[in-house]
Amino acid sequence: MSKHDVVVVGGGISGLTFAFEAARAGRSVLVLERAPQPGGCLSTHRMEGGYWFELGAHTCYNSYVGFTELIEGCGLRAEVQQRAKTHLRFLDGDRLVPGSNLGVLLRLFSWPEAAFSLPRMIGAKKDGKTVEEFYGRIVGKRNYAKVLGPMLSAVPSQSADAFPAGMLFKMRDTRRKDFPRSFTLRGGLQSMTDTLARQPGIEVAAGRTAVSLEASGSAWMVVTDDGERHEAAVVAVATPPSASSAVLGGAAPELAAQVSRVRDTVVETLAFAVRASKVKIPVSMFLVPRQDVFHSAVTRDSVPDPEWRSFAFHFKPGPSQDERVARVTRLLGLGKTDLEDLVEKRTVLPSPALGHERIVGEIDRLSAGRRLCVLGNWFAGLSIEDCVDRSRSEWARVAAAV
């Protein structure tokens, strides 16, 4: 049995932010991560020779104040790299729709419908509305279904229609003017979680799955799949809703019941590098299909390289690997052997729906006064900054108790 001040279940940006805050406050921290390495949705594949590409989150903004403070706290300020100008483009089957960014929206919208609907933007409120209800009313139902809906679903790599309208895009009042407006890190965003995992006071146990939580006097006991028991005064669970609910069920059944109300979904990512000379699609950021077996494709064109380009296709559940490879090679006009360093990643993502704020309120109520925290990318929003904010505020809540 191990003993630590804090045990964190889940080694993504949420769990590692919490671990970092605890460790720099002088606490000993154990992070249990079921994958072979920490990172979660910050997942960077690195090739021989130094070229890298993202399988998950791919950009940050200078409005991410908490995240920029983490960067500075870990000594990574010099690794910040401004992203080059890129383009959002639409796909209609295998055809690239002419135009990009606002221009392509203007091309695809039905303007008679938009002209009728856009005045509804005045005074429109997101409260109590889904993404589809709110934006469909503003641009028109057909414009939403054919253009805006696919674009909004490309952001979380799943259908965003039923999301609470207030969760998808958030205006942040503060920006770090000493950071680029849009940036990444020179070695990819996983450099952040790699560095957090190496901080003094943090021990990461990879390949270890937490299966249950037990009360142990005034402390907690986390049991892993190998039968090991890990005692701590504070436990933070930072995994997708279904996994969090399973861990919490034994010791905190009411809390687990609320967490289980948050749905999740699976995204299958197929990513690869290709010689730049072989790709005809112009420089892009997002490739948004109007209707296809994938939600979006994200390129690394924002960090240009003279020799390589790379693509991460975020697929809907269902297609086999062979079917996914066949889809991307046909779209890009490539052969299978042109896809170099082909990698796949299965990611479980939250799918919040109306009433989500009430669920979070109940989670917070049931957590109050307990040295037990629930973290993740499914509270106030889905962005990296939302993860960081939740973890920092939860550490502040329990810090005095340990």
Judge whether residue 9 has pLDDT over 90. yes
Residues 358, 261: Cα–Cα separation, whole Å: 11
Q: Is residue 198 situated within a structural domain?
A: yes
Same domain, 385 and 246: yes
Per-residue pLDDT reduced to its tens digit, 123-141: 788 889 999 999 999 999 9
Q: Is residue 200 situated within a structural domain?
A: yes
Same domain, 258 and 358: yes
Give residue 114's pLDDT band: very low, low, confident or very high (50, 70, 90): confident
pTM of the model: 0.95
Give residue 173's pLDDT band: very low, low, confident or very high (50, 70, 90): confident
Same domain, 319 and 375: no
Same domain, 74 and 129: no
Rounded to 10 deg, the angle between the 13-24 and 65-73 helix axes is 60
Q: Is residue 37 situated within a structural domain?
A: yes
Same domain, 290 and 339: yes
Per-residue pLDDT reduced to its tens digit, 103-113: 998 889 998 89
Q: Where are the beta strands (DSSP E) in 10-77?
A: 29-33, 44-46, 52-54, 60-61
Same domain, 255 and 369: yes
pLDDT at 16: 98
Judge whether residue 400 has pLDDT over 90. no
Residues 285, 85: Cα–Cα separation, whole Å: 9
Judge whether residue 246 has pLDDT over 80. yes
Judge whether residue 170 has pLDDT over 90. no
Question: What average pLDDT does this structure show over 176-199?
Answer: 97
Q: Is residue 117 situated within a structural domain?
A: yes
Judge whether residue 158 has pLDDT over 80. yes
Same domain, 273 and 388: no
> Would you state the structure tokens that stand for residue 392, as one six-digit string?
């920092």
Same domain, 333 and 375: no
Give residue 117's pLDDT band: very low, low, confident or very high (50, 70, 90): confident
Same domain, 344 and 245: no
Choosing from 350, 368, 385, the residue where a domain stops is: 350
pLDDT at 183: 97
Q: Is residue 55 situated within a structural domain?
A: yes
Residues 378, 156: Cα–Cα separation, whole Å: 11
Q: Is residue 89 situated within a structural domain?
A: no
pLDDT at 402: 75
Q: Where are the beta strands (DSSP E) in 242-322?
A: 263-275, 286-289, 294-299, 308-315
Same domain, 257 and 357: yes
pLDDT at 195: 98
Q: What is the CATH number of the domain that holds 339?
A: 3.30.70
Question: What average pLDDT does this structure show over 192-221?
Answer: 96
Q: What is the CATH number of the domain that holds 371?
A: 3.50.50.60
Per-residue pLDDT reduced to its tens digit, 285-329: 899 999 999 999 999 999 999 999 999 999 999 999 999 999 999
CA 272 to chain centre: 19
Choosing from 168, 202, 223, the residue where a domain stops is: 168
Same domain, 228 and 288: no
pLDDT at 161: 95
Q: Which domain, by its residues, includes 126?
A: 101-168
pLDDT at 164: 94
Choosing from 168, 189, 204, the residue where a domain stops is: 168
Same domain, 244 and 314: no
Q: Is residue 311 situated within a structural domain?
A: yes
Q: Is residue 74 situated within a structural domain?
A: yes
**CA separation (Å) from 24 to 64, 74, 225?**
21, 11, 29
pLDDT, the chain, mean:
94
Per-residue pLDDT reduced to its tens digit, 359-380: 999 999 999 999 999 999 989 8
Domain count, the chain: 3
Give residue 33's pLDDT band: very low, low, confident or very high (50, 70, 90): very high
